[in-house]
């Protein structure tokens, strides 16, 4: 089961990523994507193992961004692959049939390629400009999502699609109406004074 709310970790170092991860677990998040950029792989593995222990306590899933080998070594729930990362087909060879593999898409062609490669979910975006990612793909906006999903959802192989990129709480009803399964959130939750209120609002909105 793919969660409707994915928290993408933020932080200036290992400790900050872990602190924010635990804070979101306490706030009710049940799906964490550990996104550690420009860190040595050993540090990423250490952080993944610590985050895994925290996620196990809260019954949450842990997905590693970009590194299938680290996902395997830490035995977490899966991996999320960016457009320039390893092919999901190759990642599946590393992780096996039972792990979750997600992929990032910006176009219908990206989505269909990922479906062909056997992903379990797709992160589609960005909805709008965000400072979280350095190499930002073209902005989709609501119209872009609507046009793309109109075709995508007719594919019998379709898997859940998660909106990414600058999503705020007010966007949730619109995205749900378009046909999105859920949203991936980073800064909105990380910077919230009471993330449990934000998380609960998003989860409840996506239920209805």
Percentage of residues in the chain having pLDDT higher than 90: 92
pLDDT per residue over 132-164, tens digit each? 655 667 899 999 999 999 999 999 999 999 999
The backbone torsions φ and ψ at residue 185, rounded to the nearest 5 degrees and listed phi first, read -125, 140
* Token code pair at residue 30: 């049940």
Contacts (Cβ under 8 Å, ≥6 apart) of 174: 142
DSSP secondary structure letter of residue 38:
S
Q: What's the pLDDT at 135?
A: 64
**Domains in the chain and their CATH numbers?**
5-207 (3.20.20.70)
Q: What is the pTM of this model?
A: 0.95
What is the distance between the alpha carbons of residues 93 and 102, in angstroms, rounded to a whole number?
Answer: 14
In degrees, rounded to 5, the angle at the alpha carbon of residue 154 between the alpha carbons of residues 68 and 110 is: 35
Residue-level pLDDT at 137: 77
Token look-up 């619109």 returns 174
Contact 36, 65 (CB under 8 A): yes
pLDDT band at 38 (very low <50, low <70, confident <90, very high): confident
In 36-133, where does DSSP find H-type helix? Answer: 41-58, 68-74, 88-95, 108-116
Contact 64, 31 (CB under 8 A): no
């Amino acid at each position: 089961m793919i969660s409707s709310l994915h928290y993408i970790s933020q932080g200036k170092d290992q400790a900050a990523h872990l602190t924010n991860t635990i804070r979101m677990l306490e706030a009710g998040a049940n799906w964490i994507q550990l996104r550690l950029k420009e860190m040595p792989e050993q540090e990423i593995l250490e952080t993944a193992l610590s985050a895994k222990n925290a996620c196990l306590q809260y019954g949450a899933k842990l997905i590693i961004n970009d590194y299938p080998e680290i996902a395997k070594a830490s035995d977490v729930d899966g991996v999320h692959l960016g457009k320039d990362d390893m092919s999901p087909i190759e990642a599946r060879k590393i992780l096996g049939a039972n792990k979750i593999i997600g992929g990032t898409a910006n176009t219908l062609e990206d989505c269909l390629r990922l479906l062909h490669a056997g992903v379990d979910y797709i992160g589609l975006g960005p909805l709008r400009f965000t400072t979280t990612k350095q190499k930002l793909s073209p902005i989709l906006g609501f119209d872009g999502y609507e046009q793309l999903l109109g075709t995508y959802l007719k594919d019998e192989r379709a898997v859940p699609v998660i909106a990414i990129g600058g999503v705020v709480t007010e966007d949730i009803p619109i995205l749900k109406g378009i046909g999105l399964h859920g949203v991936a959130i980073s800064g909105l939750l990380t910077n919230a004074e009471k993330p449990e209120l934000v998380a609960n609002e998003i989860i409840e909105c996506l239920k209805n």
